[in-house]
Amino acid sequence: MADENGRIKSVVTDKEEIIECQVVGLTPGVSPNVSFLNDSGIELGRGIKVNRFLETNIKDIYAIGDCAEQHEPIGNRRPIEAVWYTGRMMGETVAQTICGNRTEYKPGHWFNSAKFLDIEYQTYGWVFSTSGKKTYEQHFHWRHPAEKICLTIAFDKETRQFLGINTFGIRMRHEIFDRWLNEERDVMHVIKYLKDANFDPEFYAVYENEIAAKFNLEYGTDLKPEKKNWKRIFAIG
């Protein structure tokens, strides 16, 4: 919907909900441009079909990056991942293979980061949308009352195992969350040591105490955030 000057003022959803806004972003997704290979003999799907070693069906021909499509998705990942860091990891993997060390592509835990205008977004592990949330998944959400800052933590309802985190407006350390996911830490550990994961430079405001207070209120815990510890951060000692 437009205002009197022809500028965006709101969006009307299919449920007739009106959402006021100043910007509308359209995200059509990515379609690999592989039609030039139609008569090549290389197996195609939406992209170029590859196995776990990023090999096509033709010997010594590989595909990596936005055009590569896994025959079977790796875990919860999509068969095609149009993300720069996966393209880099695929390149490193194929380089090992063509240099004589045949190596399987193992991307590890999902992560991504982006910047929308002035808001930084990061995700580590899996935090599914409300409509796609798994039956075992529970979300803890914290939002700053005034600033454009929030986070959502996903964890297992029964075991409380940490599954993933989304952040807006707070920069976090990839290595810390990757370690916690590998160690299968619980959500209480994440809340308690969240300061270790904060990557914002000095003089930035920190919000771990407020986050822990909301978690304690919702789940009846008494967690107190630990001070940032560089030995823990870099796993020294």
pLDDT digits (tens, 9 = 90+) for 9-40: 999 999 999 999 998 988 877 789 999 999 99
User: Is the model's pLDDT at 186 over the cut of 70?
Assistant: yes
Q: Enumerate the H helices of 9-66 as residue ranges.
A: none
Count of beta carbons in the 10 Å neighbourhood of residue 96: 15
Domains defined for the chain, CATH in brackets: 1-108 (3.50.50.60), 111-233 (3.30.390.30)
Give the start-end residues of each E strand in 92-210. 111-116, 119-125, 137-143, 150-156, 162-168
CA angle 199, 204, 206 (to 5 degrees): 75
Where b means 16+ CB within 10 Å and e means fewer, 152-181 reads bbbbbeeeebbbbbbbbbbebebebbebbb
**What is the pLDDT at residue 56?**
98
CA distance 55 to 64: 9
94-112 per-position pLDDT tens digit = 999 999 999 999 999 999 9
pTM assigned to the model: 0.84
What's the pLDDT band for 200 if we cut at 50, 70, 90?
Answer: confident
**What is the pLDDT at residue 237?**
57
User: Is the model's pLDDT at 131 over the cut of 90?
Assistant: no
